[in-house]
Structures are given as C-alpha cells and as structure tokens.
C-alpha cells in the first residue's frame, strides 16, 4: 500500500507537467493523466479541482474562463513560478525514483533523502 | 440531461469557510465536468437514466467532493479565519477612514472655496452639512448592508456581522451635525468631552443625548438587520 504522504505530491507534479505543454481544463487533465499513465494513475474526477485551485492560489497556475461551443470552461496554464516549481519537484522525484529502483534492484549504496 | 445543481455541496463548503469565489468556480467546473462525463458515457451506448447515474458516480459523491476541498485549509477565506477582524472591526475602521477622508477633503475644499469661489457662504455651509449628514446617517447603513451581504455570501455566523454593524451605526448615530454662524460642527454623545475644532453644538444633557443616539442607531441598524435576519431565518429553515 502506498504511503499517502509519500505520494501526496504526485498529482501536483503531473498537473504541472501536463500544463507546461498547453493549457487544459479539468476534464482534459484527468483524461490526459489516465491516458499518459496507461491507467496506472487514476485521479478522482471531481477532486482534481481543489488541487488546481490550490496551485493557482500559490501562484503556480493561472486560470482563465474561455467560451467553447456555447459552454464556458476554466482553462489552466503554468506560470513562471509553476515552471520553476516543476523543475524542482521533478528533479527531486527523479532522484527518489532512482533511489527506490536501486533498492528494489538490490543495490546498497543509496544516499537519497526522502 | 438533468444537470446536478450541487446546492448542498455549495452550502456545506460555504459553511465550512471555503471562499465564495472558490466554491462558485468549483461548482461551475463540476457541472461542466459532469456534462463531459455524461457525453462520454452516452457515447458508450448507455440509456439516458443509466448514463446520468454513471456520470454522477464517476464524478464522485458529495462527501468525496466536499472532503477534497475541505482538506485544503488554504482555500478558506480570510473572513472564515478571522471573523472578529473582518466583520467586527473592519467595518468601523472602514467607516472611520472614509469619514476622516471626507472631513479632510471638506476642510481643504472649504479653505479653497473661501479664497477663490463666489459661492454664497450659506449655501456652502448647507452643502457641507448635508455631506456630513450623509456620512453619519447614510454611509453607516451602506457599510452595514455591505457587512451583511458579505456574511450572507459566506454563510458566516451572525454574531460578528451583527456586532460590527451595530458598532458602526452606534458610533455614527452618536454624532450630531450642526451648522451655526457659518460653520459646521460635529459632536458625539458617546464622548461628551469630544468636539471637533469647529464644533458648535454642545449637549448639556448627556443622558438624553445617549438615549437619542441609541434610538437613532436602532433605526439605522434595523434597515439592514431586518432583511438579514429574515434571510438567516429562511436559510436555517431550508438547511
């Protein structure tokens, strides 16, 4: 079973990464995570929005309303602060993921701090 | 397709102190998301009723949707975190700031007019008196209305909004504006020793003045408190 604390930052990384390519709305983000992760990571449909609101409040995302086919959607994009945050957390995640892989492969010289 | 309204979810989040702008956008986004899920389920060939059920299930129950928002305290509004400050103290501070600005503007404006304008003095004094009256009789009512409107939007508890509005109206109602001998004066029954530098009025009977103040404040407060009270009663009945 995954530790909630250990994985709590995963949605943030995934969202920042996906939005760094192009602006998206909530439904698109959930679908993209499902497709890109080949359904290995399934984000709750409705619970993606509190994460988006928090990231926006922290200045990592920018939201704008956009009318599309008679409907008004809220699109999100990454800010400069969001891009910097993505670089930081992606680097941390890569180090942790490699450390975990080395342990699983039976390595003994692991120095990463989680 | 019948779109879910999320009324209960909205009420629950507002009562828990989530900022109204976040709640409004969350509900709007959930509706749009539901619409997308509905279309996706419909494309799979489900009948309409089953499609609605499937879309609502995939979106998540009200409990799940509420908990995911409530787990983020950073989305709570400032008013929910510091109600005494926002509803209790801020209205008086805002009113005092506006009133002080008005007094400063009137004094400098008066000095300017005295030198350059041809406006008759009595008309000028009357204009200043009416402006002062607006600030001590009308503005407090508007400030109270703003306090109650803000409290309604946030589904805040009534204690601090009522306290804040009552303080503003009481302080404002205590002020008497008088125009005598070409000057406009302000005095307050709450501080019998206080007077502005141009005050003309002097209340010899402090108790009578205080009673008048309370009566005036009650009328001013009632203008906004009664509609607010009715709204609170209706909400309590509905939820």
| A107-111, B73-77, B179-183, B221-225: least confidently modelled range | A107-111
* CA dihedral of residues B104, B105, B106, B108 (deg, nearest 10): 80
Structural contact between residues B185 and B108, judged by C-beta atoms closer than 8 angstroms: no
Q: Please give the pLDDT value at position B175.
A: 86
Q: Please give the pLDDT value at position B239.
A: 65
Average pLDDT over residues B75-100: 94
Q: Please give the pLDDT value at position B176.
A: 82
Structural contact between residues B64 and B86, judged by C-beta atoms closer than 8 angstroms: no
Q: Please give the pLDDT value at position A46.
A: 86
Stronger pLDDT, B207 or B11, i.e. the higher one: B11
pLDDT band at B238 (very low <50, low <70, confident <90, very high): confident
Residues facing B183 on adjacent strands: B180
| Pick from A26, A44, A54: CB nearest B29 | A26
Scanning B155-205, the segments in alpha helix (DSSP H) are 159-173
CB atoms inside a 10 Å sphere around CB A69? 5
B-chain CB neighbours of A71 within 8 Å are 32, 35
Q: Considering the entire predicted model, what is its pTM?
A: 0.79
| Pick from A25, A27, A47: CB nearest B68 | A47
Stronger pLDDT, B202 or B220, i.e. the higher one: B220
Residue A64 φ then ψ, to 5°: -150, 145
Q: Please give the pLDDT value at position B1.
A: 67
Rounded to a whole number of angstroms, the distance from the CA of A97 to the nearest CA of chain B is 27
Distance CA A18, CA B18 (A): 27
Q: Please give the pLDDT value at position A88.
A: 92
Distance CA B28, CA A2 (A): 32
Tally C-beta pairs within 8 A across A and B: 62
CB atoms inside a 10 Å sphere around CB A51? 20
Q: Which residue of B has its CA nearest to A52?
A: B26
Whether A62 contacts chain B with CB within 8 A: no
A61-74 per-position pLDDT tens digit = 999 999 988 888 99
Statement: residue B94 has pLDDT above 70: yes
Distance CA A46, CA B66 (A): 10
Q: Please give the pLDDT value at position B200.
A: 38
Say whether A53 and B72 touch across the interface (CB within 8 A): yes
The percent of residues in chain A predicted with pLDDT above 90, rounded, is 57
B14-45 per-position pLDDT tens digit = 999 999 999 999 999 999 999 999 999 999 88
Rounded to a whole number of angstroms, the distance from the CA of B149 to the nearest CA of chain A is 24
Q: Please give the pLDDT value at position B3.
A: 72
Q: Please give the pLDDT value at position A108.
A: 58
Say whether A27 and B37 touch across the interface (CB within 8 A): yes
Average pLDDT over residues A35-47: 87
Distance CA A99, CA A93 (A): 10
Say whether B33 and A50 touch across the interface (CB within 8 A): no
Whether A27 contacts chain B with CB within 8 A: yes
The percent of residues in chain B predicted with pLDDT above 90, rounded, is 56
Rounded to a whole number of angstroms, the distance from the CA of A64 to the nearest CA of chain B is 11
Average pLDDT over residues B105-113: 74
The percent of residues in chain B predicted with pLDDT above 70, rounded, is 85
């Amino acid at each position: 079973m995954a530790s909630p604390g250990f994985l709590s930052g995963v949605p943030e990384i995934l969202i920042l990464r996906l939005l760094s390519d192009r602006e998206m709305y909530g439904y698109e983000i959930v679908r993209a995570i499902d497709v890109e992760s080949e359904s290995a990571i399934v984000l709750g449909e409705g619970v993606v929005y509190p994460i988006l609101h928090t990231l926006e409040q922290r200045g990592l995302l920018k939201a704008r309303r956009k009318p599309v086919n008679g409907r008004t959607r809220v699109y999100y994009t990454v800010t400069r602060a969001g891009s910097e945050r993505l670089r930081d957390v992606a680097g941390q995640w890569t180090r942790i993921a490699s450390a975990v892989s080395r342990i699983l492969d039976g390595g003994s010289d692991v120095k990463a701090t989680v | 397709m019948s779109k879910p309204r999320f009324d209960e979810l909205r009420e629950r989040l507002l009562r828990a102190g989530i900022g109204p702008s976040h709640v409004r956008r969350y509900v709007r986004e959930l509706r749009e998301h539901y619409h997308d899920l509905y279309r996706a389920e419909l494309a799979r060939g489900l009948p309409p009723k089953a499609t609605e059920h499937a879309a609502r299930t995939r979106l998540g129950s009200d409990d799940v949707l509420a908990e995911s928002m409530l787990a983020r305290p950073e989305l709570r509004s400032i008013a929910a975190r510091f109600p005494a400050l926002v509803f209790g103290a801020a209205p008086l501070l805002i009113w005092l700031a506006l009133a002080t600005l008005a007094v400063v503007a009137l004094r400098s404006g008066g000095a300017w007019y005295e030198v350059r304008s041809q406006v008759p003095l009595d008309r000028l004094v009357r204009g200043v008196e009416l402006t002062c009256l607006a600030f001590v009789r009308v503005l407090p009512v508007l400030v109270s209305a703003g306090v109650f409107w803000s409290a309604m939007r946030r589904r805040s508890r009534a204690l601090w909004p009522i306290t804040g509005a009552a303080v503003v109206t009481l302080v404002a109602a205590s002020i008497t504006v008088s125009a005598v001998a070409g000057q406009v004066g302000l005095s307050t029954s709450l501080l019998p020793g206080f007077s502005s530098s141009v005050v003309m009025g002097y209340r010899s009977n402090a108790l009578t003045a205080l009673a008048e103040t309370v009566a005036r404040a009650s009328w001013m407060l009632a203008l906004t408190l009664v509609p607010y009270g009715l709204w609170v009663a209706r909400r309590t009945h509905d939820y």
